[in-house]
Amino acid sequence: MDREWGNHFSFGELQQFWASYGHDFLLHDPGGDRECLVRRGELITTAPALDPVLDRFRRWVDSVQHEEDLLVARVRLRERERDRCIDIAREAGARATGVAANHVHVGSPVMFGTPIMFGIGAEPHVAAPVPEPPAPSWDPPVVAGVLDTGCDPHPWFRSRSWFEPVAEVLDADDDSGQDRQAGHGTFVSGVLLQHAPGVVVRPRRVLSSLGFTDDITVASGLRALRREAAARGERIGIAVLSSGCHTADDTCPPVLEDELEHWSQAAVVAAAGNHARSRPFWPAALSSVVAVAATGSGGALAPFSNRGDWVDAAAPGVDVTSSYVRMAPGGRRTYGFARWSGTSFAAPQVAAEAASALHKTGDLREARAAACRRYPFER
């Protein structure tokens, strides 16, 4: 399914691709203004809304799974009603009650196949080695949470005192081939480190190596990062998210919006997405989040990049080079660097600028402003 990087996959093609691996996603309003992907037959409700939802729709409910950390529940519908999950959420008064479908988030570069890898002896092209970023010690430290596919013990990271690896899943489908988004988190963390070498990176795996996640997984990852930071006595100053979703009503999924209200003391930076659309892409389109588009040669907006009034910054996102891990025979892992394109790789550059400004000034508002000045989005 690899294509030229400028020809992205439609949501319908992504749904079919993931279905071939057993993932049951519903494409709502295919090709229309309300198009979005959700987990088929699944609703998310807040704790106060659960009993009224069950009272009203009990005949359609198959099971309930409580997510204690988020104070929400997954309500799974019976087979005959599973294609109606968005309509049922609307009937429940979604925005007023906190009831919503569980939206599928797309990893931003999944449209462009796999990266071209260099530096390990088996490359189709010659490339100059990418130097390892320096390792200055920032005092006080600036901590960046990276919510992605993990971060492998690549040589760029493994010798740093703060590094705690979150191993990449390279072949989740066990087909003896590397998954198309495997290595993505290691790559994004490397971009961040190249542009802010003194930052402390705290990775959290929320994104599948096949290129998707969902509302609950992202919200749970954000909350886990907060709790882990509190246990360490750290403050997270920056958060980087490289996936997102559209919704049927073009509003942010409630469980994400609620969790991000707890992140007012951090600069949250998110990829704007790669669908060449102006429709809001969540959580990037939240006013509290710095939404990052991608530019190409000459600083022009990349053809694949989302755009719109909700975008705050734009940074280079075409042929970005960074750290990468590749699956080798016998279950080994080979480390080198790769070239990849997408708004996923623009976002950590903006996040790095915010981290550097936060290191210099200690002022979160100025850090956000400095990042947007350095990488302006031309409307």
Q: Alpha helices, DSSP H only, in 196-293?
A: 215-232, 254-260
Nearest to 343 by CA among 238, 198, 236, 240: 240
Three-state DSSP class for residue 20: coil
Q: Which of 208, 243, 344, 356 is catalytic?
A: 344
Asked if 323 is an active-site residue, the reply is no
E strand or H helix at 289, and its extent? strand 289-295
Could you confirm whether 148 is annotated as catalytic? yes
User: Phi, psi (5° rounding) for residue 213?
Assistant: -155, -165
In this structure, what token pair is assigned to residue 328?
């080798």
Angle of CA points 306, 309, 313, to nearest 5°: 65
Q: Looking at the chain, how many residues does it have?
A: 379
Give the span between the Cα atoms of 118 and 181, in whole angstroms.
17
List, as one string, the DSSP characters of 22-53: T--EEEESTTSTT-EEEEEEEEEEEHHHHHHH
Q: 3-state class of 211 per DSSP? A: coil
- N-to-C CA span, the chain: 33
Q: Which of 28, 108, 148, 322 is catalytic?
A: 148
* Inter-residue contact 193 to 348 (CB < 8 Å): no
Q: At what angle do helices 364-374 and 343-361 cross, to 10 degrees?
A: 130
CB-CB contact of 302 with 317 (8 Å): yes
Determine the Cα–Cα distance for residues 284 and 94; give it in Å rounded to an integer.
21
Q: What is the DSSP string of 361-377?
A: H--HHHHHHHHHHHSB-
Catalytic residue among 184, 195, 246, 359: 184
Return the H-helix or E-strand segment holding 97.
helix 94-97
Element (H, E) at 295: strand 289-295
Find the helix packing angle between 184-195 and 343-361, rounded to 10°: 40
- State yes or no: is 344 an active-site residue: yes
**Catalytic residue annotation:** 148, 184, 344
